[in-house]
A and B are shown apart, each in its own frame.
Chain A
């Protein structure tokens, strides 16, 4: 079984809809991250969490919110989706001892029409 899983893997939604992307991990890591990837722009950090009670904004948090329901679960929400949020979204985890080594989930391809 995959260590970092994301659901859904693909989603098409309409402008204005609320959508939640979910991430679960079995690695036992305390740190979790949400990134979006756009062609030619690499990975940009949306939010990150060092434990259940510690959530921080990344480079591009506007229009997004997150919830860390448990050490193993980190959800990303788009309260009112807009077309320029069409992207590939990755969840990642890392351990306290090796925070620079991030393990990525398979990604969620989101299309907002």
Chain B
């Protein structure tokens, strides 16, 4: 089967750095995405890793290790507006073609 695991909640202080981990188990792994969702809003795409290594986009970075079936999202210089839920999502190739499978999400609380 397919599964993704990420912490349910993380709390950090404004200005700090926080890392949200994601481990996955799929049969046809193709890549790992990250999405942000504020309360009452729609998910928005943050990043995608298909190859091992670190991808940086401003204050956000995403890392993938295919051999460890593991990735993380790194948020630097935390701001209050970063308080949101963060979802990792696996792009998986199955019998019906490619599809995206989302984790349950990590709720990030940023404190002043």
Other-chain residue from B8, B33, B96, B102 in contact with A44 (beta carbon distance below 8 A): B102
Q: Size band of the A side of the interface? A: 20 to 34
Interchain CB contact (< 8 A) of A100 among B42, B43, B91: B91
8 closest pairs, A vs B, by CB?
A104-B42, A43-B102, A42-B104, A42-B102, A56-B96, A100-B48, A101-B45, A104-B43
- For the complex with contacts A59-B101, A90-B43, A102-B45, 4 further pairs of A-B residues with Cβ separation under 8 Å are A42-B87, A45-B100, A45-B101, A101-B33
Across chains A and B, the number of contacting residue pairs, with CB separation under 8 Å, is 54
Residues of B in contact with A (beta carbons under 8 Å apart): 8, 31, 33, 35, 41-45, 48, 50, 87, 89, 91, 96-105
Decide if A48 is an interface residue (CB 8 Å cutoff). yes
Contact B99 A56 (CB under 8 A): yes
A12, CB-defined interface residue at 8 Å: no
Given contacts A42-B87, A57-B96, A101-B48, contact A90 B102 (CB under 8 A): no
Q: What chain B residues lie within 8 Å of A103 (beta carbons)?
A: 45
Docked Cα-Cα span, A40 to B102, in Å, equals 12
Tell me whether A42 and B100 are in contact in the complex, defined as CB-CB below 8 angstroms, given that A102-B45, A104-B44 are known contacts.
no
Contact status A48-B99, CB under 8 Å: yes
Interface set of A (CB-CB < 8 Å, partner B) = 33, 35, 40-45, 48, 50, 56-59, 90, 92, 99-107
Give CA–CA (A43, B43) in the complex, Å. Answer: 10
- Among residues of A, the one whose C-beta sits closest to the C-beta of B87 is A42
